[in-house]
Chains A and B, each alone.
Chain A
Amino acid sequence: MAEPLRAETDVLVIGSGAAGMYAAIEAARAGCQVMLIDRSLIGRGGATVMAQMTVAVALGSQAPDHWSHHYHDTLTAGRGLCNETLARLLCEEGPACIEEMDTWGVGWARKDGRITTAFAPGHDRARCVYVDFLNTGPAVSKTLRGVVNKTTGISRSGDLCVVDLAKSDGVVTGAVAWHVGSGAPVVISAKATIVATGGLTRLYRRNSGSANMGGDGYAICLRAGAPLIDMEFVQFFPIGHLAPRLIGMDPIMWDPFRYKLGGRLLNSRMEEFTQSYGVPEDGKYVITRDVGTYAILKEVEAGRGSPHGGVYLSFQHCSEAALREAFGPVIDRLAKNHIDLTKMPIEVAPIAHYHMGGVAANARMETEVPGLLVAGEAVGGANGANRLSGNAITEALVFGRQAGRTAAACVKVTRAPSPPDARETLDLLRGEERKDAPNTAEMLQALQAIMADDVGPLRTQAKLERALSHIDELDVALGARPFGVAQPFDLTRLDWLDLRNMVTVARVVTQAALLRTESRGAHQREDLPGMLPEWRVNQVVRLKNGRIEISRMPAAPIEMAAQ
């Protein structure tokens, strides 16, 4: 194979969602040369562009609010496991980022000149800003991409998938990427590297995310020596669209409807049921994500589910005029899918949506490994065992901005790093085609089935152990050398590289879930119901000589943090 392509920069930003783009802007504004890369196209491949709902922030634009209230709600939702410092950063710095986005013309919905705030479950008041209609993520992404384009010092490249970080003398000094567009390896050296690769929901069969969210960043950082935390806490979104088949809209699209219009969750007897799980709704949307997911799955288990294995969500009590006012053109898109909400309920069921866990970082977004920073959903800890609606975009913006700042400060005191040691990864990418290779797309689907069936929201020891042995089998089938060829857009090779990460991350999630012998937030053990005080700990995952090691660290008590 030809020599690898080489590039050099001050700051390398991996991933161009809200976190990566904000980080790039902030570092460039501080005078750094920035290289912003993405395995997909810039600003289009991750969760940010797909978000449809709201962004939680204590702006106080319509009624008084203060970040400490938002902070309190975040900690409560996190069921005692939030990393206080990170949660506080999110809540305290949120308003500044949202206001800056406003000056950049994102177009937050307004009434009488003031930014409108919506109420979302788990928040003590209306606190969530949005862009109509269902346009929050696209607007955030487009705005940031525009600012990135206008800021001097940021070079950008899509189709560039990072395979591993590269180090020299224990310091991360860049990364090795596979240029999907040509099949060529690329070695990038950098004084500071920011991993902003988003979450892991692609591990699950039914998920709300994109094809680029297989947890690459978690695996890459773990291999580079950085610990992960809270990996057992995968958030399921309770009311993901299930049936009838809907195209052109993300399955989580019903949430905004519920914010604005309430809506009724019904079982197969057409009866409301959330009150049996401690949360009566009375036409208002108040149930949090962990409880909602639990209630729906339990209803289905009891034989009271809808035909496709979920429950019903009904807006039949709303008039056509009310629906039209709240959702304008979206009503026409639904009509094209033969859905008339005034006449029929739809079916919904929990769907993998967000990851609370991630790379451990301090408030400067530094990991344990020098030279390596993280941002956005890739970071673990701010949301504990359960995330509040709207906190993820705020997290991406705030953590991105902070990572950019820290990187710039780090660049100022770093001499040109010695060239990264890229040999091992380059050797991997040099792999020959394997003739008898199994179908990678099928393997990926198999992994998603294992995770969905046995490592979903409701877990047992038996299911988790079965999952681990299936993951081991897949790992063996995958082997140590990549399938496919070093040619343009070879999806077989890309799948192999993805599976290498996904198998690692799946194993980490499953092992952490097996060790946590209680139920808390998004982690529900059917064999071990109830929260235990001794489990107010975060689990920390490290890779030692290729083996996963999990230890415990006490979490900060909520009483202290809530002051």
Chain B
Amino acid sequence: MSEIATLKIWRGPNKTAGRFESYEVPYEPGQSVLDGLRWIRVYKDPTLAFRYSCINANACKECMMEIDGETIYACTTRLEPRAMTVEPLGKKKLVRDLVTEIAPPQERLRLK
């Protein structure tokens, strides 16, 4: 049997109304946690929300989240064949699931 990574992911619209859900992801050496999250959207649940743009380059700095309690980029963290906890940034306002409001205030939509 091939190895499995189990991602325990925070789902919900805010920090009180939500729950952890577990997803089993086929593990291949060298993959990133972001690869795992993208795999979940294609094969399990397309409604899972997380931010990312550059996928591999670690240039956009949008995929910051908390993985096993550590604040880190999902695209540079290796997926491992074990249970891993993935949560939104604790100090930022939650938008949904793993997405938080990370843009500086002057770069957000502000309409009269």
Residue ranges of A at the interface with B (Cβ–Cβ < 8 Å):
5-7, 40-42, 44-46, 49-50, 52, 137-138, 149, 155-160, 179, 181-182, 186, 210-212, 244-251, 337, 439-442, 445, 484, 487-492, 495
Tell me whether B58 and A159 are in contact (CB under 8 A): no
Tell me whether B96 and A244 are in contact (CB under 8 A): no
- Interface 1/0 per residue, B38-70 and A, CB below 8 Å: 100111001111011111111111100000000
Q: Provide a sorted-by-A list of 30 A–B residue pairs whose CB atoms are within 8 angstroms.
A: A5-B109, A5-B111, A41-B62, A41-B103, A41-B107, A42-B103, A44-B60, A46-B53, A50-B54, A50-B60, A52-B57, A137-B59, A149-B106, A181-B109, A182-B109, A210-B54, A210-B55, A211-B52, A211-B55, A246-B30, A248-B75, A249-B57, A250-B59, A440-B46, A441-B41, A488-B95, A489-B96, A490-B96, A491-B46, A495-B46
Tell me whether A491 and B41 are in contact (CB under 8 A): yes
Instruction: State whether A181 and B32 are in contact (beta carbons under 8 Å apart), knowing that A6-B111, A212-B53 are contacts in the complex.
Output: no
Tell me whether A251 and B60 are in contact (CB under 8 A): no
Tell me whether B49 and A491 are in contact (CB under 8 A): yes
Query: Which B residues from 10 to 53 make CB contacts under 8 A with A?
Result: 13, 28-32, 38, 41-43, 46-49, 51-53
Q: Give the tally of cross-chain contacts (CB within 8 A).
A: 131
Chain B at the A interface: SS class: loop
Instruction: Collect the chain A residues with CB atoms within 8 Å of residue B54's CB.
Output: 49-50, 210-211, 250
* Chain B: CB-nearest residue to A211: B53
Residue ranges of B at the interface with A (Cβ–Cβ < 8 Å):
13, 28-32, 38, 41-43, 46-49, 51-62, 75-76, 78, 95-97, 99, 101-103, 106-111
B57 to chain A, nearest CB (A): 4
Instruction: Collect the chain B residues with CB atoms within 8 Å of residue A251's CB.
Output: 56
Instruction: Collect the chain A residues with CB atoms within 8 Å of residue B97's CB.
Output: 489
Chain A at the B interface: SS class: loop
Interface centre among A181, A182, A441, A445 (most CB of B within 10 A): A441
Instruction: State whether A492 and B30 are in contact (beta carbons under 8 Å apart), knowing that A138-B59, A186-B109, A445-B42 are contacts in the complex.
Output: no
- Expressed in whole angstroms, the Cα–Cα distance for A220 and B49 within the complex equals 25
A230 to chain B, nearest CB (A): 26
Tell me whether A41 and B46 are in contact (CB under 8 A): no
Tell me whether A244 and B109 are in contact (CB under 8 A): no
Tell me whether B60 and A210 are in contact (CB under 8 A): yes
> Which of A52, A179, A492 touches B46 (beta carbons < 8 Å)?
A492
Q: A45-B60, A250-B59 are in contact. List 5 more A-B contacts (CB 8 A).
A: A44-B60, A159-B108, A211-B53, A247-B56, A491-B41
Instruction: Collect the chain B residues with CB atoms within 8 Å of residue A186's CB.
Output: 109, 111
- Expressed in whole angstroms, the Cα–Cα distance for A537 and B84 within the complex equals 55
- Expressed in whole angstroms, the Cα–Cα distance for A40 and B103 within the complex equals 10
Tell me whether A490 and B111 are in contact (CB under 8 A): no
B48 to chain A, nearest CB (A): 7
- Expressed in whole angstroms, the Cα–Cα distance for A191 and B65 within the complex equals 40
B79 to chain A, nearest CB (A): 10
* Chain B: CB-nearest residue to A442: B42
Interface centre among B13, B32, B102, B111 (most CB of A within 10 A): B111
Tell me whether A50 and B57 are in contact (CB under 8 A): yes
Instruction: Collect the chain A residues with CB atoms within 8 Å of residue B28's CB.
Output: 245
Instruction: Collect the chain B residues with CB atoms within 8 Å of residue A212's CB.
Output: 53
Tell me whether A181 and B101 are in contact (CB under 8 A): yes
Tell me whether B46 and A247 are in contact (CB under 8 A): no
* Chain A: CB-nearest residue to B58: A248
* Chain B: CB-nearest residue to A38: B107
B42 to chain A, nearest CB (A): 4
B40 to chain A, nearest CB (A): 9
* Chain A: CB-nearest residue to B13: A488
Tell me whether B57 and A250 are in contact (CB under 8 A): yes
- Expressed in whole angstroms, the Cα–Cα distance for A155 and B111 within the complex equals 10
Tell me whether A441 and B61 are in contact (CB under 8 A): no
- Expressed in whole angstroms, the Cα–Cα distance for A156 and B108 within the complex equals 7
B45 to chain A, nearest CB (A): 8
Tell me whether A156 and B30 are in contact (CB under 8 A): no
Top 7 A-B pairs, shortest CB-CB distance = A245-B30, A250-B57, A441-B41, A210-B53, A441-B46, A248-B76, A157-B109
